[in-house]
Amino acid sequence: MGKKKKRVSSKVWCYYCDREFDDEKILVQHQKAKHFKCHVCHKKLSTAGGMAIHVLQVHKESVTKVPNAKPGRESTDIEIYGMQGIPPDILAAHYGEEEDDVPSKAAKVDIPPTQLVGGMIPPPLGTGYPPRPTLPTMPPMYNPAVPVPPNAWMVPPRPQPWFSQPPAVSVPPAAPYTQQPLFPVQNVRPPLPATAPALQTQITPPGLPTSAPVPVSQPLFPVVGNNHTTTQSSTFSAPPLPSSVPSVTSVMSANVPVDTHLSSNSSVTSSYQAIGIPGGAASNSHSYASGPNTGGPSIGPPPVIANKAPATQPATNEVYLVWDDEAMSMEERRMSLPKYQVHDESSQVSHTTSLIDGVAFTSNQMSIGFMLPVFRFSCLHIVSYLKRYILYKFLILF
């Protein structure tokens, strides 16, 4: 018990790979480097959704799975930032059991949050009422199980309009998970009551705000009752009313930081989209190509400068042109070989004259060519690649 208590208070872990870290800042860095990094340009994004949008907008590729994630946790729709945004059931499973979750088990656990939500309704009504309705509704429980999926579908759209007012862009996908990040925050605050029933009690508090917007509470109730009885009979027998009140207060207080985070996310997303458009004009390159990416996407001037400097310097030193003679084409050079000289003796005198002129012309070109390559070679060393790079990018944009 004591050991578990310490883990909860001092350790944070990655939702995608279950790796533990001492500090949430380090956890965020890990997520950016391992799970939110663009596989094309290796840029680190702040969230999975942002990374998916970046890859789609800039590189025109679709990403449906978060890289390096465990099976069942690859969805890019869940907005995770450090320990925030982890679904409550996953969080509970992680602390309850040290073993890894089985995918099928995780799928089953996804249903309980809705049921738990419904389960919270009986306690405020009274102690006597909950047990009585549960018993007579036992038989019809199997029938309501069928409409459970549509109810789950209805839950996400309901909260969206209510929460959509403050942030506009990322609200729809974030709304269904707004409730979930509330739980880990609450969990961290009351670490003192380390008893198992206390933790389980805290799981139910986030259900209250979701129950209010959900109009169809009756079908949820019987299903929840069934699972509630099966999984936690002790909680059912002792529903603590006074604990629900302080949990609501903590929920409301937690709303503020979450909204701030969401707004910052939306600004990042919009900046991605803005940059993505000019990035679309970027040069495409061979699979083996390397060197500066003229259209590399970036956010804000500082990253651009940081990215450009190291990329251009090695390119300047190491670019090798297979054909670097600007004065002559490959065919002209080849034509100057004796093997390819034209010897048309059968032509008339006038033609012979023109041929001689042609040869002379070729010789002139050749002599000029001998001098210019040296000059060009010197120029290539003197002229800064960075200048050409900037000029080139300028040409592309206009």
Partner 1 sequence: MASAVPATGRELSNPPSDGITNLRFSNHSDHLLVSSWDKSVRLYDASANVLRGEFMHAGPVLDCCFHDDSSGFSVAADNTVRRLVFSSNKEDILGRHDAPVRCVEYSYAAGQLITGSWDKTLKCWDPRGASGQERTLVGTYPQPERVYSLSLVGHRLVVATAGRHVNIYDLRNMSQPEQRRESSLKYQTRCVRCYPNGTGYALSSVEGRVAMEFFDLSEASQAKKYAFKCHRKSEAGRDIVYPVNAIAFHPIYGTFATGGCDGYVNVWDGNNKKRLYQYSKYPTSVAALSFSRDGRLLAVASSYTFEEGPKSQEQDAIFVRSVNEIEVKPKPKVYPNPPA
Smallest distance from partner 1 to CB 279, Å = 10
Q: Give residue for tokens 């690649």.
A: 385
Q: Which helix (H) or strand (E) is 179 found in, with range? A: helix 171-188
**Is 366 a binder of partner 1 (CB under 8 A)?**
no
Stretch that binds partner 1, among 78-86, 138-146, 226-234, 286-294 (CB under 8 A): 286-294
CA distances from 374 to 329, 331, 363, 366 (A): 16, 20, 18, 13
> Cα–Cα distance between 229 and 115 in angstroms, integer?
11
Angle between helices 301-318 and 385-397 (to 10 degrees): 120
Q: Give residue for tokens 């974030």.
A: 174
**Is 150 a binder of partner 1 (CB under 8 A)?**
no
b/e sequence 155-165, b meaning 16+ C-beta within 10 Å: beebbbeebee
> Cα–Cα distance between 60 and 38 in angstroms, integer?
12
Q: What residues contact 207, with CB distance under 8 A and at least 6 apart? A: 113, 116, 117, 118, 119, 120
**Is 349 a binder of partner 1 (CB under 8 A)?**
no
Among 169, 299, 366, 372, binds partner 1 (CB under 8 A): 169
Smallest distance from partner 1 to CB 65, Å = 15
Kindly state the number of chain residues that form the binding site for partner 1, as judged by CB under 8 A: 59
User: Do the beta carbons of residue 208 and residue 120 sit within 8 Å?
Assistant: yes
Smallest distance from partner 1 to CB 298, Å = 18
Among 93, 158, 325, 373, binds partner 1 (CB under 8 A): 325
Q: Which of 172, 173, 175, 8 is nearest to 83 (CA)?
A: 8
Residue closer to partner 1 by CB (options 256, 322) is: 322
**Is 280 a binder of partner 1 (CB under 8 A)?**
yes
> Cα–Cα distance between 203 and 199 in angstroms, integer?
7
**Is 267 a binder of partner 1 (CB under 8 A)?**
no
Stretch that binds partner 1, among 26-34, 91-99, 126-134, 324-332 (CB under 8 A): 324-332
Q: Which residues pair with 12 in a beta bridge?
A: 21
Among 17, 148, 154, 315, binds partner 1 (CB under 8 A): 315
Residue closer to partner 1 by CB (options 105, 333) is: 333
* Residue 357 CA, distance from chain mean position: 67
User: Do the beta carbons of residue 82 and residue 31 sit within 8 Å?
Assistant: yes
Q: Name residue 185's amino acid.
A: V
Among 6, 39, 334, 387, binds partner 1 (CB under 8 A): 334
Among 11, 108, 351, 387, binds partner 1 (CB under 8 A): 351
Residue closer to partner 1 by CB (options 143, 290) is: 290
Smallest distance from partner 1 to CB 327, Å = 8
**Is 158 a binder of partner 1 (CB under 8 A)?**
no
**Is 342 a binder of partner 1 (CB under 8 A)?**
yes
Binding string, 375-394, against partner 1, x = CB under 8 A? -------------x---x--
Binding site for partner 1 (CB under 8 A): 53, 56, 60, 62, 156-157, 160, 169, 172-173, 280-291, 294, 314-315, 318-327, 329-335, 337, 340, 342-344, 351, 354-355, 357-358, 361-362, 388, 392, 395-396, 398
